[in-house]
Amino acid sequence: MLLYFENSYGEERPIADVTTEQEVFAAIQDFINDCNAKKSPHGRPFEWYYTRTWETGGRKHYDVGSHTEFFHWGEKE
């Protein structure tokens, strides 16, 4: 199933094709690491302090602390 990243504008894009929740967490960490690597040397890196999850519409949703950006695992309706 696809893992999507939703930006602060509500736009989703697929970032990984994963089959287990362990792979979901690894893909999220890889995505965060990649985003942090692209920031300027003076930019503050995003830190993943907690994970809040919930399920709706046949998808599992992940809030990793940004409050405006999320990850969604499963097919879009």
pLDDT 10s digits, 22-60: 999 999 999 999 999 988 777 888 888 899 999 999 999
* Rounded alpha-carbon distances, angstroms, from residue 73 to 42, 44, 50: 32, 27, 17
Q: Which of 17-26, 36-45, 63-72 is the most confident on average?
A: 17-26
How far is 19 from 48, CA to CA, in rounded Å? 22
Sequence-distant (≥ 6) Cβ neighbours of residue 58 within 8 angstroms:
74, 75, 77
What confidence tier does 14 reach under pLDDT thresholds 50, 70, 90? Answer: very high
Token duo for residue 25: 């967490």
Q: What is the pLDDT of residue 75?
A: 86
Q: What's the pTM?
A: 0.89
Sequence-distant (≥ 6) Cβ neighbours of residue 27 within 8 angstroms:
3, 15, 16, 18
pLDDT score of 8 more than 80: yes
